[in-house]
Structure 1
């Protein structure tokens, strides 16, 4: 990472003038982001996807015609996505 490379390549004057606690605080705050923010972001992405799959499964189980509509909606989404990603 950029922070680690910068600390390892820093001149000795940096370590003489910067307290060790400040360097450790910065490193630990970066690890804190990895420990707490990324799992929550992952949950916010995965939970709606699981809910969507479960809802489609229930609707398909109740009435099979939902599969046709879901496939058409998926195809329309792909067409719109390709159009906007190309521009």
Structure 2
């Protein structure tokens, strides 16, 4: 799956991640938006007609936004599940 991204980094530590909306990634963008709103301070999410723009005015948040996007995308696209069955249940 291909996801169109545009990244803007400015000298004043403003960072913007612009993601082109497509029906195939609608759920991914919803999950990403919810996670960023809940877990990142100083992040502005603008849900526009053709794209989703995520902006931070703190340099430290830049890597967190990128990491969150990659993790959410990987889990959504691959179906990856990090939960393992406890060893005690395997014996039965």
TM-score category of the 2 structures, normalised to the smaller one: under 0.3
TM-score normalised by length of structure 2: 0.26
Higher relative strand content: 2
- The structure with the larger Rg is 1
Select the structure that is richer in helix: 1
Higher relative contact order (CA 8 A, sep 6+): 2
